[in-house]
Amino acid sequence: MRHTTDREASAPNEPFHDLYGQLIAQDRRRKFRRRRITVLSMALVVVLVLGAGIFALTTYLGIENGIKRSQAIDGGAGLDQDVNILLMGLDSRLDENGNALSQEEYDALHSGGSDDGGYNSNVLMLLHVPKDGSTATIISIPRDDYVELVGHPDGVTEGKVKQAYGYAMDEAMRTLKANQGSKSDAEVYQQARDAGRKAEIKTVENFLNVKVDHFVEVTMSAFLSVAKAVAPITVCLQEATKDTFSGADFKAGQQQLNAQQAVAFVRQRRDTSGKGVFLTDLDRARRQQAFIASLATQLKQKGTFTDLGKIQGIIGALKDKMAVDQSLNLIDFGLKAKQLTDNHTKFVTLPIVEFGWSDTGESVNIVDKGAIQAQVAELLAPQPTTSAAPAPPQTSAPPAQQGSQKAPAQQAPAQAPAQQAPAPAQPSPPSTGTYDAGDWSSSLLGGGIPCVK
C-alpha cells in the first residue's frame, strides 16, 4: 500500500524531503527493486534515532544487504497507530548467519572470540512511538530482571529476562535437528533463531503487559560497524574510570571516542581502577541511553540524516549483523524521523527492588512486576494532569514494594539500588552542550550530550 500523506505534507525545502527527492532521482536511473533493509546499531543503540531517517530510505537503495527478515512477528501494527518496537542486542560473537567475525572485530570488541558469548538478549529496549507525533519513549529493561519465561523453554519456568531467547533457541535447535529432513543447516539455524526471538518477545510482553508490534535485533559487531562509520563520537563522564574487562579508560568530562572506545563505553559495568567508582549493569544501561542521545544530537548537527552518501556508508557497514520482522514498514517509519530527533526521545530504566540470587545460584534483579506494569502503562499512555503547575518529569526511582514478584531463595541487600538516593527531577536539556543526566534511576531526555557515570 502506498502512503503519501506525510510526504506530500512536507514543505519542499525540508531536508528530509530533499533527501527523499535524491533517492527518487537515483531510483529512476536504475531498475526499481524494493529492498527489505533497515539500520540500527547495538547498545542498542544507535537505535532508531540513527535509524529513523535511514529506515525509510534504505528500501530504495540498490544495496545487497544480509539483514534478515524474520517471521517471529506477523502482522504488527502500522505506524498510523501507537507502536511498540522491541530492540534486542545479543551477546553473540557471531553474525546473523552464525558465522565468525574477523579477528580485527574481535580485537576491537575486547570480548573474546567466536566461542564466547551466546544468545542472551543482553540489551533490551522497548521503543514506543506515539501516532500523534509526540515524544517517543525508550524503556530499558535490565537484563537480569528475574521473571517468568513464557513457554518455559528448555523446561525453565523463571529466569533472567535476557535468557528467554537462548533457552528457546536451544530447545528448538534440538527438535529441528531431530526432524531435519531436507532442511539445510542454515534453514534449521534461522528457524531456531526465530524460536528464540518469539520467546523473548512473548516474555517481554508478559512482563510489561504490552503488545510488541515490531522488533529489531542486532549483534555486538553491528554496534562496532556503525561506530566506525560515524566516529568520532562525543560523550561525557562525571568521573574518570578504567576497566580491564571492557577496555574502558576514560577521563572525566566531555571527550571524543573512536569506534573501539565507543564499544568500551557502552559495555563497561565495573571499575577496576581502585578509585572507588561504583558501577553496575544499571549504570551501563544509562550509558547506552546517553550514547544514543549524544549520537542523535551530533548526527543531526552534522546533517547525517540528510546525507545520502553517509547513510549508504552506514548501511553498507551492517551486512549480516541485524534482523527485523517481516511487517515493519520501513518507508512509514522513516517519515517519523523528525519525531525521534526534534522531540528529544525520553529514556527510562525500569526499577528493581534489590539484587538477589536465584534458586540455582545466579545473581538476579528482584522486581515488582505489578509496579513495573503500572509504570509502563503510565509511560506509554500518560494521563493528563489536572494541576495548573507543570508536572515534574517521570522518574524510575523504585516505588514502595507491595506484593513483589516471587523472590529467589536468597537476597543480597548490600548493593540494592533501592538504597540510592533518586536524582532530582531534570529540566529539559538544551539542544546542544552538556547536561548532568543524574543516576540511572532518573529519566533522561535527549537533545544534548548527557554527562553520566
Which pLDDT tens digit goes with each residue over 141-188? 999 999 999 999 999 999 999 999 999 999 999 999 999 988 999 899
pLDDT > 70? residue 387:
no
Write the pLDDT tens digit of every residue in 13-56: 344 344 434 433 444 444 333 332 223 333 333 443 344 444 44
Bond prior to 430 in cis (omega within 30° of 0): no
Percentage of the chain beyond pLDDT 70 is 63
Q: Higher-confidence residue: 51 or 226? A: 226
Q: Which residue has the higher pLDDT, 199 or 131?
A: 199
Q: What pLDDT was estimated at residue 383?
A: 62
pLDDT level of residue 411 (50, 70, 90 thresholds): very low
Q: Rounded to two decimals, what is the model's pTM?
A: 0.74
**Rounded mean pLDDT, 194-204:** 97
Range in 36-40, 90-94, 315-319, 381-385 with the lowest mean pLDDT: 36-40
Would you tell me how many other CB atoms lie within 10 Å of the CB of residue 328?
Answer: 23
Domains, the chain, ranges and CATH? 5-382+394-452 (3.40.630.190)
| Least confident piece of the model among 17-26, 115-124, 359-368, 440-449 | 17-26
220-234, 272-286, 312-326, 381-395 — most confident range:
272-286
Q: Are strands 248-250 and 346-349 parallel, antiparallel or unpaired?
A: unpaired
Work out the average pLDDT over 246-264.
92
Among 73-87, 376-390, 419-433, 437-451, the range with the most confident prediction by mean pLDDT is: 437-451
Cα 341 to Cα 406: distance, rounded to the nearest angstrom = 40
Q: State the pLDDT at residue 112.
A: 61
Res. 124: pLDDT tops 80: yes
The whole-number pLDDT of residue 85 equals 92
The predicted structure's pLDDT at residue 344: 76
What is the structure's pLDDT at 53? 42
Which of the pair, 93 or 292, is modelled with greater confidence?
A: 292
Q: Is the pLDDT confidence value at 431 over 50? A: no
Mean pLDDT of 217-245: 86
Sole residue written with cell 543516576: 439
**pLDDT (0 to 100) of residue 302:** 74
Mean pLDDT of 294-317: 71
